[in-house]
């Protein structure tokens, strides 16, 4: 549910930010998977990943169209990737989101923690309406981890959902560190999900441990939790995310739902088309 492929110039900037423990990271974060697109695609497939997002995310006005065009070309070349896109509060956002939805975009990414914008910005109102009507999932990083800003936290997302209660939202990172508040949103709104990105890993438990008293609520939300990883921006092996979920000991049915059935319900069975080469220009 939560994998990133980005245009090479953007990816280089993102890696520099991680390597330098930049202000949006706030701590050492040694990225493990540093190869090119083809190498990282091969790694995902070797791990048994059948479908994955690319989740570009706009951090300033004017860049969303570039990211979306690159992501669409990537998806055309890589049929096991979900057709992904992003948006930013800017003039024309409602128009380009409507066009992307009509063109078959399967998932959007909105990154409040990086973009530092209000989810309820009037410039996004038409875009949210299009996404709500289409039922297109949106992965939203609205939580305050790893470094919050004035627009992160559960409040703005709850306000957005009060206005657009049929939005299909996937809350990134289980909402860390505001786990309880974001779980409550998923419990209250029928089409809100969560992804497991980095949750329960040794690295994340040191940063934002998941309270053990919330585990029964996580079990009850079984059909709304989806596997996420944040690949390739991981400071540990990909398999550790799976190990971290397994050691919760929530049962095989919970794991099957999280690692397969819930995503299939949202996006359908994996395509079987032969993947083609990817240009890294």
pLDDT at 272: 60
Q: Which fold has domain 8-267?
A: TIM Barrel (3.20.20)
Quick one: pLDDT band at residue 278, thresholds 50, 70, 90? Answer: low
Q: What is the pLDDT of residues 148-201, one digit of tens each?
A: 999 999 999 999 999 999 999 999 999 999 999 999 999 999 999 999 999 999
Q: What is the pLDDT of residues 35-50, one digit of tens each?
A: 999 999 999 999 999 9
In the chain, % of residues over pLDDT 70: 96
Quick one: pLDDT band at residue 26, thresholds 50, 70, 90? Answer: confident
14: Cα separation from own chain's centroid: 16
pLDDT at 189: 98
Average pLDDT over residues 75-101: 97
Between 64-77 and 93-102, two packed helices, what is the crossing angle to 10 degrees?
10
Q: What is the pLDDT of residues 216-259, one digit of tens each?
A: 999 999 999 999 999 999 999 999 999 999 999 999 999 999 99
Q: Is the pLDDT of residue 275 over 60?
A: no
Q: How far apart are CA 171 and CA 191, in angstroms?
A: 11
Kindly write down the DSSP assignment for every residue of 142-196, as one continuous string.
-S--SS--TT-SHHHHHHHHHH-TT--EEEGGGGTT-HHHHHHHHHHSTTEEEE-
Backbone phi and psi for residue 15, each to the nearest 5 degrees, phi listed first: -65, -40
Report domain extents, the chain. 8-267
CB 141 within 8 A of CB 173: yes
CB atoms within 10 A of CB 55: 27
- Enter the pTM of the model: 0.94
CB 109 within 8 A of CB 55: yes
Task: Indicate the helix (H) or strand (E) that contains 108.
Answer: strand 107-111
């Amino acid at each position: 549910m939560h994998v990133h492929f980005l245009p090479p110039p953007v990816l280089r900037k993102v890696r520099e930010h991680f390597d330098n423990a930049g202000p949006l990271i706030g701590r050492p974060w040694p990225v493990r998977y540093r190869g090119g697109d083809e190498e990282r695609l091969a790694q995902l497939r070797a791990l048994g990943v059948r479908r994955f997002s690319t989740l570009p995310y706009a951090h300033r006005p004017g860049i969303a169209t570039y990211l979306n065009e690159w992501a669409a070309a990537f998806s055309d070349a890589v049929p096991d990737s979900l057709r992904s896109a992003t948006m930013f509060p800017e003039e024309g956002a409602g128009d380009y989101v409507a066009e992307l939805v009509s063109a078959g975009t399967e998932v959007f990414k909105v990154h409040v923690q990086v973009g530092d914008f209000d989810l309820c910005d009037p410039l996004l109102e038409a875009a949210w309406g299009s996404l709500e009507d289409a039922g297109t999932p949106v992965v939203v990083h609205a939580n305050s981890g790893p470094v919050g800003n004035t627009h992160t936290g559960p409040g703005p997302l709850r306000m957005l959902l009060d206005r657009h209660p049929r939005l299909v939202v996937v809350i990134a990172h289980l909402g860390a560190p505001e786990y309880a508040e974001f779980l409550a949103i998923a419990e209250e709104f029928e089409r809100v999900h969560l992804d497991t990105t980095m949750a329960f890993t040794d690295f994340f438990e040191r940063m934002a441990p998941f309270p053990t008293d919330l585990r029964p609520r996580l079990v009850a939300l079984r059909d709304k939790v989806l596997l996420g990883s944040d690949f390739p921006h991981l400071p540990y092996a990909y398999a550790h995310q799976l190990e971290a979920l397994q050691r919760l000991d929530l049962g095989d049915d919970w794991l099957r739902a999280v690692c397969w059935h819930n995503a299939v319900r949202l996006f359908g069975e994996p395509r079987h088309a032969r993947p083609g080469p990817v240009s890294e220009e």
